[in-house]
Amino acid sequence: MNAIISASELASDLVGPNPPVLLDVRWQLSVAKAAGEPPFDGRTEYAAGHIPGAVYVDLDRELAGPAGTGGRHPLPELAEFGAAMRRAGVSSGTPVVVYDGGQGWAAARAWWLLRWTGHPDVRVLDGGLPSWQGPLQSSVPGPALAEGDFEPVPAAAGLLDADAAAALARAGVLLDARAGERYRGEVEPIDRVGGHIPGARSAPTTDNVGPDGRFLPAEELNARFKALGAGDDTEVGVYCGSGVSGAHEVLALAVAGIPAALYVGSWSEWSSDPERPVAVGPDPQ
């Protein structure tokens, strides 16, 4: 099954015999704002207009646990995640489509969590809300929304911790989905120190999409990742700053037909421990 869905395909599915549950996961990374500029509020954006029937999901509160030693967006408690998904109407036997404001990172985080915890049919709207040509709805679904029955069951594979990520950088392929300047250690606007996990290869997730925010064709993505050493029988892992844009790269790899694991703690966890080694510069080592 394809991991992404076009806006036209979604419009058709919504009026079909088995319409998907829609999750709106609009989110932006919290960075310093100009004086007087309000912070991004995904719930406000959702209330101003969303795809009809979509339910808002808060990435920081429902798709991640509290920030701490496990990183800025560690895994949520599975019981809390499952409850949030059921409140949103997610059931194991019903397809799910996730979208965000167009960047794709937040939607990919929801996609990855649902897939890793056992949902068999989850796709991301390619291009996010800007790709949607249909009507928008401003009313918010109330308590009458039917609760789902999804119970998360984590997979044995697909998740890396710090030690496994370090080992994979040596024995397989570990991709760093952040911007190249952060990988090289030239700048670090968020975490304690810049640089990368020794052995990791720079693969900015922004290079996986075109100017319209949609993914490049599968064959182009496959060629890109194979040039980085991924594919065939090679074990592949991905990390980023906090397990959000990395999920987007895992999604791009899935589109390319290459399975990959995610190091959820990512650089925000790795760099918080001064005992862990840090590499700088353009080369993996």
Q: Does 163 lie in the same domain as 126?
A: no
Domain co-membership, 192 together with 82: no
240 annotated active-site: yes
Is it the case that residue 5 has pLDDT exceeding 50?
Answer: yes
Q: In the chain, what percentage of residues exceed pLDDT 70?
A: 95
Q: Is the same domain home to 88 and 163?
A: no
Would you say residue 141 lies in a domain?
no
Same domain, 31 and 104: yes
Spatial separation of the C-alpha atoms in residues 44 and 246, rounded to whole Å: 26
Q: Which of 5, 238, 240, 253 is catalytic?
A: 240
What is the pLDDT averaged over residues 6-12? Answer: 98
Inter-residue contact 208 to 146 (CB < 8 Å): no
Same domain as 100, residue 13: yes
Q: Which tokens in the block code for residue 23? A: 């999750």
- pLDDT tens-digit readout, 24-44: 999 987 654 445 566 778 899
- Of 121, 112, 59, 63, give the one whose Cα is nearest residue 90: 121
pLDDT tier for residue 115 given thresholds of 50, 70 and 90: very high
Q: What is the pLDDT of residue 210?
A: 96
Together in a domain, 163 and 125 = no
Same domain, yes or no, for 39 and 127? yes
pLDDT of 30 reads 64
Decide if 244 contacts 220 (C-beta within 8 A).
no
Look up the pTM and report it. Answer: 0.95
Q: Using CB atoms within 10 A of its CB, is residue 228 exposed (0-12), middle (13-18) or buried (19+)? A: middle
* Mean predicted confidence (pLDDT) in 250-262: 97
- Beta strand extents in the chain (DSSP E only): 4-5, 21-24, 55-56, 96-99, 122-125, 159-160, 173-176, 201-202, 236-239, 261-263
Residue 34: predicted pLDDT: 45
CATH number at residue 123: 3.40.250.10
Q: Are 62 and 164 found together in one domain?
A: no
Domain assignment present for 209: yes
Domains held by the chain: number:
2
Q: How confident is the model at residue 145 (pLDDT cuts 50, 70, 90)?
A: low
Q: Mean pLDDT in the chain?
A: 94
Average pLDDT estimate for 129-152: 85
Q: Which domain holds residue 213?
A: 159-270
